[in-house]
Chain A
């Protein structure tokens, strides 16, 4: 260990790192490796046929589509909320700022039943949409609503600190050079916050892909129509189809790890961008 670590007079390195590694291995790494090792017991054609059946492919399409749509909406409105919270003053601002984190703190099952009750045909919001022929609860649209809710804080919280740090001198310079407000925003502010915006998008998207609790109540869960991939894993598990559930979970893990890598790259880019300006 001596060669791996720079000298320090502080004690406790071996104990702290040793405990960290043992804990992480027992709680996270060994159980996670179980998914990969159990899947390795399948042959490649077996694995491939499990993860590409039409019902499974339909669930990928739905999970990705709804997550993408929800994360996109969150980019637009997340930027708007972050902008309003950083730049403007209005009564109740502190409370609104604190409540933005509600989707992080509210258990997903509670969000799920609340949204379902609101968007059902007789719910507060559903009763106005029903006559227009828009059905939200128990359709893919409902999944989009739930995923928008749980992804809401990500873009706001990644963009907010970057907006706070922008020096007004830049904007003043743009204004003196004859730019109007929209031009200043598009040419000066937007490039600075763009990496943070993308990070927020990726975080919201990654969270949405794996989300289960808030979605299953509102989705209706019809195979081929409104069945998300995490639910399909549970369904397979309940039918004692361990191989199927494990194969699907490996697909989800690979997607998660890829997204994690992308998010790390985006955050690195974001830090570099903001340290340059």
Chain B
């Protein structure tokens, strides 16, 4: 038992630095952290894939190629394809105003942008029911004009946009604040127009931050459950997103199919984490190279 031994085995380990813990303390802490992470992270993640494939690849394939599942996948992709670009444009506009200019009420604006993060998903959905639902502000007007927002795709898009508003803006604001305004000012002085300055100077500087924010925004947009659940109406094949489809299958005790669809979402989460880590590594390298120059 090397781990618990207080007697050094190799000569170099006998010198314990004053700012380091004894070896047995280190290993004990690492083991404790691993035990916690295994219990709360690794096992739940593995179990998703295990449960999905428990009844064999045929059942798995049947579950994810079922027409209702395919329509849920399509809807989830559609919703993300609308919500992410909208919040991308918003994030760039908000970050441009906040990072490149000094104005009063800036801190309040930053707080307002963060607001959706602190609202319960259920409440995020409910507020749209209050505005567009049959009992809501515009409910009777929409009914008269034969338009449906709640219990239809537009409501799902709106609720998703709400919960993902802050992702890209909060990634870009500190990044653009740190970059300052000198480069843009130089471009403007040299005669570049506003859009030219943005495309040729700002955009290349923020593209990695933009991508980072978009990836996180996309993960949340595809995975959102509470807010979407309130406004969706759970109509199979029409207003069911992937997370809602997982719920329906699970509540029907069709566990294998529920976990099969869930495994696609878990895969999305893993891809998100890989891309996120790759961008972080890239950024660190960039920072180092700039430091060396």
Seen from chain A, the residues whose Cβ lies within 8 Å of a Cβ on chain B are 1, 4-6, 8-13, 15-17, 19-20, 23-24, 27-32, 34-35, 38, 77, 80-81, 83-85, 88, 90, 94, 96, 98-111, 113-115, 117-118, 124-125, 145, 148-149, 152, 168, 171-172, 175-176, 181, 184, 206, 209-213, 217, 230-231, 233-234, 237, 240, 242, 245-246, 249, 252-253, 256-257, 259-260, 263-264
Contacts and interface: CB of A to CB of B under 8 A. Distances in A.
B33 A77 contact: yes
B262 A110 contact: yes
B266 A110 contact: yes
Among B130, B216, B247, B268, chain A packs the most CB atoms within 10 A around the CB of B130
B126 A260 contact: no
Contact of A217 (B25, B161, B250): B250
B120 A256 contact: yes
Nearest to A232: B122
A81 B274 CA distance: 20
Interface stretch (B1-9, B98-106, B204-212): B98-106
B53 interface: no
Contacts of A249: 120, 122-123, 126-127
Contact of B18 (A30, A106, A172, A263): A172
Contacts of B33: 77, 80-81, 83-85
A99 B273 contact: yes
Given A24-B113, A27-B161, 10 more contacts: A1-B103, A19-B93, A107-B265, A109-B243, A110-B246, A118-B47, A240-B135, A246-B126, A249-B127, A253-B119
Nearest to A149: B40
A246 B130 contact: yes
Given A4-B103, A100-B41, A171-B19, A106 B126 contact: no
A103 B270 CA distance: 11
Contacts of B136: 34
B121 A230 contact: yes
A118 B272 contact: no
Contacts of A233: 122-123, 126
Contacts of B103: 1, 4-6, 13, 17
B40 A109 contact: no
11 contacts: A23-B90, A24-B113, A32-B115, A104-B216, A107-B269, A114-B44, A152-B41, A212-B226, A230-B122, A253-B123, A256-B119
